Amino acid sequence: MAVWALGINHTTAPLDMRGRFAFAIDQIAPTLIGLRQALTSNSMRHPGVETAILSTCNRTEIYCAADAPALDHTLDWLAHSGGVSPTLLRSHSYTLENDLVARHAFRVASGLDSMVLGEAQILGQMKNAVRAAETAGVLGTTLNQLFQRSFAVAKEVRSSTEIGAHSISMAAAAVRLASQLFEDLSQIKVLFVGAGEMIELVSTHFAARHPKQITIANRTLERGEKLASQFSANTMRLADLPEHLHEYDAVISCTASTLPIIGLGAVESALKKRKRRPIFMVDLAVPRDIEAEVKDLRDVYLYTVDDLAHVVRTGQAQRQAAVEQAEVIIDHGVQSFMHWLDQRSPQGGSVSLIQQINAQTDEWRALEIARARKLLARGEDIDTVLEALSRGITQKMLHGTMAELHKGDAEQRAQTADTVQRLFLRKER
């Protein structure tokens, strides 16, 4: 099996480029089916291809496995889905094969490839990606093994090293930046737009600073109320946001919308009503929730996920020793996965040979059982039949070995004898 991956992330592509290739979790399954159909078309000839897509605010990655790699076809498909040329996508993407795929997946799962070194949220996102691929019926044995080993490596990294001990999460970074603008966070009103996992994380951090008011605005009011109940917060329908935007000192947004939901005009109107009092805004969504032009307004302090990356990188030198320890664990995991993959290869492994041996022994066993049943039907003594059955199976299994022991020159017979001793005369049980 060939394993390959294609991706873009926060180190290779700008925010707006990443936004073109962001897939909401409910889009993953149908997207995977479309990808598999594209890769298994007659012109491409990659039957039985396995696929999975990991899509977060920092990365979109496609993982595939098949009899032969199809990196160019995968890149063409992704470029088309994002509405850009393959040449442009190639300049912002990375492609990996086999052991490099395993190493990358293990590093991602362990938080070594994240904006926030050692952050744990990516592990849950990878598990969601696996579940989506399973739901679509496109995961397959090889990719499932790759991801399950990724989770095991990540668990060992987190339990054996201090990779996440000093990390600053995006949520904590947002609170830190807000503290630089407002002297006392307990005197501000905070609006959270969305009710997903990231908003829950950020709102938890802000709630710990006891702001004057917390409001959750969400398209589905019921989901917003569920999150609001955790912090005794207010709720608001997303449609009412423009009317009330001016009431809030801090706005943190992270939705799955494909288009901005807070436009330049709405923010300009809010600033006038606030009499130019500043607004702190954080856009954690990819694609953007807040129009990029908002950042140019004089009294707005707008930060994106890429901006927050500069904050969370502080203290990375302290974690270098933990990174080195993690890389050792990952190296071992890569070697183990590649050994497993090699074992499944008819060219380099033993799976095909084992299958042939099992088929042959099943055939011999069936022949001898059929012969024993005939003898019993003729009234032969059962002990005699069992003796004949065991002798017949033994002779069939040893016939080839005995023949090889008498073939070739003295050196070849000695090598055969050594192999036979290791196979049949081992002391341990």
Q: Are residues 162 and 194 in the same domain?
A: no
Q: Is 209 annotated as a binding residue?
A: no
Q: Which of 63-72, 162-171, 255-264 has the lowest mean pLDDT?
A: 162-171
Q: Are residues 49 and 113 in the same domain?
A: yes
Q: Is 239 annotated as a binding residue?
A: no
Q: Are residues 302 and 329 in the same domain?
A: no
pLDDT digits (tens, 9 = 90+) for 312-358: 766 555 577 788 888 999 999 999 999 888 877 655 555 566 767 87
Residue 209 resides in a domain: yes
Average pLDDT, the chain: 87
User: Which residues on adjacent β-strands are paired with residue 9?
Assistant: 59
| Domain CATH code at residue 246 | 3.40.50.720
Residue 145: count other Cβ atoms within 10 Å of its Cβ: 18
Predicted pLDDT at 47: 57
pLDDT grade for 118, boundaries at 50, 70 and 90: confident
Predicted pLDDT at 353: 66
The mean per-residue pLDDT over the stretch 63-88 comes to 93
Residue 428 resides in a domain: no
Residue 109 resides in a domain: yes
| Domain CATH code at residue 39 | 3.30.460.30
Q: Are residues 194 and 266 in the same domain?
A: yes
Q: Are residues 336 and 357 in the same domain?
A: no
Residue 411 resides in a domain: yes
Q: Are residues 219 and 120 in the same domain?
A: no
The pTM score is: 0.69
Q: Is 56 annotated as a binding residue?
A: yes
Domain count of the fold of the chain: 3
Residue 268 resides in a domain: yes
Q: Is 196 annotated as a binding residue?
A: yes
The mean per-residue pLDDT over the stretch 278-294 comes to 94
Q: What are phi and psi of 304, to 5 degrees?
A: -105, 180
One-letter identity of residue 367: L
**8 Å CB contact between 1 and 142:** yes
Q: Are residues 160 and 231 in the same domain?
A: no
Residue 196 resides in a domain: yes
Residue 267 resides in a domain: yes
Helix (H, G, I), strand (E, B) or coil at 314: coil
Residue 425 resides in a domain: no
| Catalytic-role residue among 57, 122, 261, 267 | 57
Q: Is 134 annotated as a binding residue?
A: no
Predicted pLDDT at 388: 87
Q: Are residues 336 and 233 in the same domain?
A: no
Distance of CA 117 to CAs 158, 170, 323, 420, Å? Answer: 12, 11, 9, 53
Q: Could you give the dihedral angle defined by the CA atoms of residues 79, 83, 86 and 91, in that order, rounded to the nearest 10 degrees?
A: -90
Q: Are residues 205 and 284 in the same domain?
A: yes
Q: Are residues 178 and 203 in the same domain?
A: yes
pLDDT digits (tens, 9 = 90+) for 186-227: 999 999 999 988 898 899 889 989 999 999 999 988 888 999
The reply to whether 64 belongs to the active site is no
pLDDT grade for 428, boundaries at 50, 70 and 90: low
Q: Is 327 annotated as a binding residue?
A: no
Residue span of the structural domain in which 405 resides = 350-420
Q: Are residues 65 and 109 in the same domain?
A: yes
pLDDT grade for 48, boundaries at 50, 70 and 90: confident
